[in-house]
């Protein structure tokens, strides 16, 4: 089953768990991003506001572990269901960039 699943999402870092390691010693950090913007839809400008749970591994986890809450970041990655849920998703970060303040 092939398909595209690539997300680019920017927002404010609102939650950041402590860096931990999987049983295989892979660095992991869970975090949450809040997003507010205006988007064009059907010829109209629409205000958009949402939050998303996210997780980062390896390099991105180490990078985020020293971040400050309130930092603006852009995350590239993919979404996957959260645990066994069929309706909740988590953004898996494969690349993170901090925006200039």
Number of domains into which the chain is organized: 1
Quick one: which of 41, 37, 40, 39 has its CA closest to 49? 37
**Mean pLDDT computed over 61-71:** 94
Contact call for residues 81 and 88 (beta carbons, < 8 A): yes
What pLDDT does 13 receive? 97
Average pLDDT over residues 21-45: 96
* Residue 99: predicted pLDDT: 87
Model confidence pLDDT, tens digit, residues 72-84: 999 999 999 887 8
Q: Which residue is associated with the tokens 């993919």?
A: 78
Q: What is the CATH number of the domain that holds 83?
A: 2.40.50.140
Q: What percent of the chain has pLDDT over 90?
A: 84
Question: Which band of pLDDT confidence, cut at 50, 70 and 90, is reported for residue 98?
Answer: very high
User: Does residue 2 form part of some domain?
Assistant: no
- Domain extent for 48: 7-98
DSSP sequence for 33-66: EEEEEEEEETTEEEEEEEEEEEEEEHHHHHHHHT
Under the banding of pLDDT at 50, 70 and 90, the label for residue 1 is low
In a domain, 1, yes or no: no
Say which residue the tokens 């997003």 belong to.
Answer: 35
CA distance 55 to 49: 20
């Amino acid at each position: 089953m092939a398909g595209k699943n690539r997300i680019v999402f920017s927002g404010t870092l609102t939650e950041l768990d402590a860096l931990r390691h999987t049983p295989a010693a892979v660095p992991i950090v869970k975090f949450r991003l809040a997003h507010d913007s205006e988007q064009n839809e059907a010829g109209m400008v629409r205000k958009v506001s949402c939050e998303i749970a996210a997780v980062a591994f390896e390099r991105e986890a180490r990078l985020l572990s020293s971040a400050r809450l309130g930092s603006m970041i852009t995350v590239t990655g993919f979404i996957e269901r959260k645990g066994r849920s069929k309706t909740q998703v988590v953004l898996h970060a494969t690349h993170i960039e901090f925006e200039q303040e």
